[in-house]
């Protein structure tokens, strides 16, 4: 599935110790004046981000980090 949107937000949320998982990851999208959570992911593992650059004939990594490094 491919969707076209005006804005994308990825939120990494550390959960309280009493919650059933350690992390929640929310994918939020906006199209025009409409905004919604497209996907919610629950995990006990620290989320990992990977930023890449499409150069036409090859895709290269530009930055990779886990969320705890991004929060520092």
Record the pTM.
Answer: 0.77
| 3-34 pLDDT tens trace | 999 999 999 999 999 999 999 999 999 999 99
CB 64 within 8 A of CB 70: no
- Kindly indicate the confidence band of residue 65, based on its pLDDT and cuts at 50, 70 and 90: low
More confident residue, 60 or 47: 47
Please check the confidence at residue 61 and state whether its pLDDT lies above 80. no
């Amino acid at each position: 599935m491919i969707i076209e949107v005006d804005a994308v937000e990825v939120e990494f949320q550390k959960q309280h110790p009493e919650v059933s998982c350690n992390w929640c990851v929310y994918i939020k999208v906006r199209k025009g004046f409409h905004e919604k959570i497209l996907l919610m992911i629950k995990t006990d593992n620290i989320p990992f981000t990977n930023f890449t650059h499409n150069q036409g004939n090859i895709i290269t990594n530009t930055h990779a980090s886990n969320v705890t490094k991004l929060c520092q």
